[in-house]
Structure 1
């Protein structure tokens, strides 16, 4: 052994002197304290009688194996939740669960090897028939439960409140049945919450996004809906929605009418209303918006149609959203699309307006086929039938666009920039950007099928049949007599001569809550 150097401890002395490694001792004490607490709580749970838990918690614990409980819950929320928010909550919950499960199985279980608790203290009636054999730390069941519940709650507080007690019960069941220490469950739950927050960081929730329009300060706050006149399209399948409006806003006037009575009823409602409300599909909302802009009234849109494109892009996905905004006087300003006869094209009639989309070419034909068949076979099957028919055809449309004549299969102009690619993409995050999202599918041989093939291959942006630009105005000329156009799902004859498609920027005031729940 080498002699000790004066003034310095020998290697043997250094290894044996506790003061030479002060950082390790506190960690050991903390580890012992946590281990002691873990065992004490585990034995306290095992010794305690939990009324009603015996027949429930072991079954609940087993039902959560491989995430089956949460997949079933997600399916139920998506199917019976009654709105886009519920479907997003279900998807976010499953995505959060998937991330948590991947982290637990690839990192968590392999990083810390901890033996499962001894079952001597756990009554036999509580014990699972099949005991897990992986590391006890952390609890994968608790991680999945916390991830799913947190993911759901980040999109929908209401569904989160429903799921949270079930998730907590699953986590507790792992201690109750003796397969985990409490520390394992707490660590797993923390990892699950972290996974849900990580998913939100990658894909923000709707509540994180900025409002889709400019804030308005002059919209009246109508307590109980006093001064609000709501016109309901009786044939939009909106009976439940109209009843919900009456219940939430008892002082509002609700008028139900047939589709052919809507223009007259909106005009009459505007004469006595402080704010105009509408329940119906996007075509009905279009009529209401036209009157609201003309009379300078704020508009309350209640999602009562089949698709509710404008309401959902607005962030109003439930009747309660619009009701809260009306009573609080919270509103935003959004753009309104407009199409009108080109200068010098003669008397083409009054301008038309659109909240969502304007189109020429194949889409008006698709709408006509869908409307003809939907009363016989239903809306969705009719839509599939219409799409299959128009995809097989060429449907050439000859027109001048921005001074250049070309054959087209479809011309699409969106009121605001849509996310995604393709001729009719997803949804908008800004309804007041001052832009038209113009997309053209060029004519030729089977352009629809060629575009569909490009979409399946993920190459729509590079497809020679598709072009997209963002413009403030589009000039269209040379339309043949009898050409049809579609705006917000409604088909009408195009004005003769030529068209100018542009926008009324920040023209429409719409109720929308500042914070989405």
Structure 2
């Protein structure tokens, strides 16, 4: 429909829109003639926002990283909606540039229809998406997003109503993403029940073992300096390989903590935290987890995102009880005899291969890239494992068992609501003809639950036997040879762990 035709209200709105556009074109803002066109150009194809997300991921804490991911997901949904629906719904012509100074005009004029503004939709989607996870980052990004949106009017690319509609669509996309994937603040506290633990206001009685080899990401502030500032009387032990196995260092710290009625602390990744949990169980001391690894899955599920969170919980004595996963080997000659404990996940099949490749490559190309390339390599080269699972012989690409039920996105476990539910989250990707292709297709189409090559259950125990010699298992990011036969279960509410009071 032509802009001058239609309902009287439509004609009035069109006239007001063009009048507002003309006022912006006739207004002069010192310095804006060069800055805003460049800003508008930088946002082409979302490049400005992808660069912002990369920077947030590189230097940020877990909340900042989640904000970056949520912003990108919101941008992707907004962009897809604009390009597949929005641009085709209202085929509005671009504004005439007669009144726009040449210095402001874009070097390459857009050729798509004017309504709605895709740049404004992307800007609002990224900023609002990030704000729903981190208000601090939302406040920082809002002026940039508003400037990008205004630049589309200022350069003559859009009418004001195009920009408002695009921004509204982008904000809506961010809230739609939050509806599918709730933000951390929306979710209930993931651990229960509350537990008694000693309050150590200045850290006296807390023995912290620091594993600098855990792959901690660079942070703006030194986490050890934060620890010593918040808990000045805590004993800090910097682990070095020359001191012997990490388990012995943790055991000595737990023994000292037990003798003083204190607690064991650990700064490291999930593997280090898992080793500390086994020792804390043996000595009956509470565990303080200070996130210091690449992923910190257990700490994040617990609600401990920063060193400050952990220190605050220790100082106040705020703690909960959590389940601990347990692998008990069968009495097989020459096999592993002692139980193995895990806080997050256990797996057989392709995932242990992925972990080994990630560990081998991450020092050269970084953890996230190593994980991605390792997954591609494993998908192409791995072979199924055959074993007896709960009395039935099966061939599988992956057997996964989580310590507690995970919320999932597709095939990937994401987060646990409850760390003391008494359940194992067991998922099996079966072998067979074109099994990997069928599994990927089912995940992409949302039909995973109905796929014959995928099974998901939540039992309290699982028995595995008949594993081939040389099979490896992974638990909490650590890889080791698997025993030929074993049972998986849980030690319910066995471990007391400090966590901040949800606010």
Report the CA distance shift for 1:448/1:328 in structure 2 as closer, same or farther (over 3 A). Answer: farther
Question: Offset of 1:60 from its aligned partner?
Answer: 0.8
Cα distance in 2 for partners of 1:117, 1:59 equals 21
Residue 258 of structure 1 corresponds to 240
Listed one character per residue, the Cα deviations across residues 171-218 of structure 1 (whole Å, up to 9, x for unaligned) are 232343355555554443333222221222233223322222225264
The 2-side partners of 1:390 and 1:63 are apart by 38
Partner residue, 2:210: 232
CA shift at 1:355, angstroms?
0.9
**Cα distance in 1 between the residues matched to 2:117 and 2:450:** 47
Cα–Cα, structure 1 residues 348 and 206, in superposed 2: closer, same or farther, change >3 Å?
A: same
Determine which of 428, 438, 445 is the counterpart of 1:454. Answer: 438
In structure 2, C-alpha distance between the alignment counterparts of 1:373 and 1:40, rounded to whole Å: 56
Report deviation, 1:307: 3.9
Q: Does 2:271 correspond to 1:283?
A: yes
Kept in 2, the 8 Å contact 1:303–1:311? The answer is: yes
Bigger Rg over Cα: 1
Partner SS state of residue 32, structure 2:
coil
TM-score, length of structure 1 as denominator length: 0.72
Query: Partner of 2:222 in structure 1?
Result: 243
2:340 equivalent among 343, 346, 352: 352
- Following superposition, the deviation at residue 50 of structure 1 comes to 3.2
Q: Which residue is equivalent to 1:384?
A: 374
Alpha-carbon separation, structure 2, partners of 1:173 and 1:101: 18
Q: Could you report, residue by residue, the CA deviation over 1:57-114 in whole angstroms, capped at 9, with x for unpaired residues? A: 1211222234333334334444x24566555433432332344345555347854858
Larger deviation, residues 376-385 vs 454-463: 376-385
Separation (CA, whole Å) in 1 of partners of 2:128 and 2:217: 33
CA distance in 2 between counterparts of 1:387 and 1:128 reads 44
Q: 1:65 aligns with which of 6, 19, 44?
A: 44
**Bigger Cα displacement from structure 2, 222-231 vs 60-69:** 222-231
Structure 2 residues not aligned, in runs of 5+? 1-6
Q: Which residue of the partner structure matches residue 144 of structure 1? A: 122
Distance in 1 between residues matched to 2:90 and 2:399, nearest whole Å? 57
- Range with greater deviation from structure 2 (280-289 or 249-258): 249-258
RMSD over aligned Cα atoms: 4.8
TM-score, structure 2 normalization: 0.74
Instruction: Quickly say closer, same or farther: Cα 1:222–1:119, change in 2 above 3 A.
Output: farther
1:473 maps to 2:464: no
Question: 1: distance between equivalents of 2:365 and 2:104?
Answer: 53
Matches within 5 A, 1:153-302: 153-180=131-158, 182=160, 184-214=162-192, 216=194, 218=196, 228-238=206-216, 240=218, 243-247=222-226, 250-252=229-231, 253=234, 254-258=236-240, 260=245, 261-272=249-260, 274-302=262-290
String of CA shifts for 1:3-50, please: whole Å, max 9, x gaps: xxxxxxxxxxxxxxxxxxxxx99x699x57x9669847963x556653
Structure 1 alignment gaps of length 5 or more: 1-23
Taking a change above 3 Å as real, the CA distance of residues 119 and 276 of structure 1, as seen in their structure-2 partners, is farther
| C-alpha contact (below 8 Å) 1:413/1:439 kept by paired residues | yes
1:10 aligned partner: none
Greater Cα offset, 94-103 or 147-156: 94-103
Deviation readout 1:344-394 (Å, 9 max, x if unpaired): 99x996543211233567766776787788889987389939974995556
